[in-house]
Structure 1
């Protein structure tokens, strides 16, 4: 029986308990969110019911975009607790911190420059710097505390997107409350701009910081120290372009900012596609070394490389062993993906040898138990349909590992250039 639960192994934890740092972060985020929502009553005049109406108007956009991020994050999904903390940080800590600092900054500037210049400078300069700093702090926190969870650009974008969506949700409630309290009918224009035309603003800005953090988490050398700073500068620039363009240049500035951000969005889509291909390439590069041990069947590799193949495997596992089989197949698929990512970190020298072998053994044991569970309820197990021998047309059952001691579950020596640097 595994000492660690499958979820703990997949998330790289050393115990079955949720990390204390994430629990503390979630509690702080929740408290800040309550304070931020309470402060809306003081900042925006109107009936208390406007908060509820504003929330109802803001939720559909947030739900759709969260679903979109989870769709992007399917091949190597991030721990749900991490995503909840990211969303809560944006909605609570970042939003409340930005409200306080922006308000104080505008008050100081109003005394020195007058109300109108103070408002313009706050919107175009102070707000982008302050808001992207508070949101980016969550990514720095993950880099320090949960560094191994950030395996590439997709992870950086996912965490940044969740944080940005949390921030945008509560900020939209604030704007919708202002619209409800002002000229009748103005609220729908606000909903159109913030909820339909440009709903990806905050997630996109913070995604720039997320890319810098992802580079720092997956690379060595001096570049990893400068990448987060460059990403943060890009986030502030895009945020300032949108805010300043609309305030200083009206509709023309807004259109220009929209076009620039449309290009940035296209670039992010390309980055996500290329990173998906990178992950598929890693699966095909590192996992064949485990085929001789019987841990992975040759045709499991193309199955792991596509979501369609993974769904097909989950369906087969359900018919083979019911819910136990589905859970086991899901664990097997995610563990195999984590194994490929682990080898990639070893090749980049972003993990020390001892940690590599400890984590690899945990993943191998999980995969072994998961494979055993596929056939738990079937006296005469049927081979997985993707394990068909393409040359003979017959099915080939993967070798079972029940009689092989755990310490012997080592991959055979891969071709030169594919093994970790310290094994060459």
Structure 2
């Protein structure tokens, strides 16, 4: 068992150099400078790639390519966001990933690929083999490396939001979706220009074939490749800090697998129509199915982690007895949000959603700590999450308890040790009991990790008498948590 130190006491005086606090941060360390620099970089990359693509496709071809390339984007983004519903990451990370893929990674790829193909064609005096070699050997390395950079940046600078395989898959998926979007504009716009030169009326022939292959048959191709890199980073995120080799080698292995599958997919076009279909049927579709199963299984495992880790906080008095069950079920979560929204409006539904996200992060944090993979800021982060939960308890707890009862009408969630009629509003409690733990507890020094004493006991109120304004029935008039 790991043992964690007591909670640090807050400083009583102003911070100085001896406290390790930087009085005046350098200008490049300020948040607005970093954000502004990143936004400027992505915006400039977007303008340059826009100009390059329009130059190759023409204005009409660009507009046609844009209209067709945007079609799979909402579907892919919705699918990846659905996978991330257990512990939703902030939208700013996803927007960054998509923008990086569509702008920075696409610009790196088009410049590097063009330069490499031109250099090979000049050196070999064989443009045909230069294009083949560029597509099968150069493009996979350049494109997957450029997309992996977004995953690496989120892994390094948004470490709290990157905790496992699902996070890696979602960030990689959004990055690859953005990259494929820009690439599809280029390919579809070029195909449309070819049809126009050949005198084909409208969107037929080459454009239709390109649309069918890139948007209908394999819209998941780029996400599939880059997701392998994301899985490598996700497994590395679950590793302990001391496992440096594992944290470095796993992302590299994922990147190499992504490059290999990308090269196989690009090279299949040289095998003829039957070879292309064979690669698609034998490798692409099974790999897509396997990775889909892996991610869904991982999501179910995350829900199980929530149900297994949160009871420790029930015993310490921070959570209600029904909450581990409700928070470990996506159906119960949705029902809790809907119930709060119906009775207290959309702001209450948002509060419940925030409560669910913070509780999930708390469960994952405790899970990493129990496995010896928690960082040095475990205690600080735990207290931050518990504070966020406690500030939202009055709105979220009744909704979650209702959802737990509604989703299991015959078998209520178990009563965790320390709860019952004598401890207030546990399942089986008598009507009118105080909702929540017995008052009087306080922050305490953690004991051995994994025991109730390792967690501070909440101190909701100095008054042990029932408080009707804090009861579930007062918050939700149509709901009585003690009815049978």
Indicate the residue corresponding to 1:143 in structure 2: 155
Distance 1:77 1:345 in 2: 18
**Which has the larger Rg?**
2
Post-superposition shift, 1:286? 1.3
1:235 equivalenced with 2:258 (yes/no): yes
Shift of residue 160 of structure 1? 0.5
Q: CA deviation at 1:277?
A: 2.2
- Separation in 1, partners of 2:226, 2:349: 36
1:291 partner SS: helix
Question: Deviation string for 1:265-313 (max 9, x for gaps)?
Answer: 1111121122112212211221101113332122211211122100111
Worse-superposed segment, 149-158 or 165-174: 149-158
Which residue of the other structure, out of 105, 125, 128, is the alignment partner of 1:116?
A: 128
Match of residue 178, structure 1, among 183, 187, 190 = 190
Query: Which is worse superposed, 67-76 or 229-238?
Result: 67-76
2:311 match:
288
TM-score relative to the length of structure 1:
0.85
| Runs of at least 5 residues in structure 2 that lack an aligned partner in the other structure | 1-29, 406-410, 413-426, 456-484
Residue equivalent to 2:321: 298
Q: Judge conservation of contact 2:326–2:332 (CA < 8 Å) in 1.
A: yes
Q: 435, 443, 459: which one pairs with 1:407?
A: 443
- Worse-matched range after superposition: 391-400 or 77-86: 391-400
For this pair of structures, how many residues does the alignment match?
Answer: 394
Structure 1 residue matching 2:70: 3-state secondary structure: helix
- 384 and 409 in structure 1: CA distance in 2 versus 1, 3 angstrom threshold: farther
The equivalent of 1:337 in structure 2 is 360
Q: Distance in 1 between matches of 2:438 and 2:44?
A: 49
Counterpart residue number, 2:479? none
Q: CA deviation at 1:49?
A: 2.5
Deviation at 1:40?
A: 1.4
1:365 aligns with 2:387: yes
**Cα displacement string for residues 19-78 of structure 1 (whole angstroms, at most 9, x for unaligned residues):** 86455434322221121011113223x4x1321221111111111111111111111111
Q: What is the aligned-residue RMSD (CA, Å)?
A: 2.9
Q: Does 1:195 align with 2:206?
A: no
Structure in which a larger fraction of residues adopt helix: 1
Q: CA deviation at 1:125?
A: 0.8
Higher alpha-carbon deviation: 190-199 or 386-395: 386-395
Whole-angstrom distance in 2 between the partners of 1:208 and 1:75: 21
CA contact (8 A) 2:336 2:399 kept: no
1:67 aligns with 2:78: yes
1:324 CA displacement? 3.3
CA distances 1:379-418 after superposition (whole Å, capped 9, x unpaired) = xx899424558385987978347966773597997459x9
C-alpha contact (below 8 Å) 2:102/2:179 kept by paired residues: yes
Report if the CA contact (8 A) 2:322-2:401 is conserved: no
C-alpha displacement of 1:367: 0.5
Contact 2:106–2:182 (CA<8 Å) still a contact in 1?
A: yes
**Aligned-residue offset at 1:349:** 3.5
1:213 alignment counterpart: 233
CA contact (8 A) 2:63 2:189 kept: no
Specify the alignment match of 1:13 in structure 2. Answer: none
> Match of 1:10?
none
The 1:352–1:73 alpha-carbon spacing in structure 2 relative to 1, beyond 3 Å, is: closer
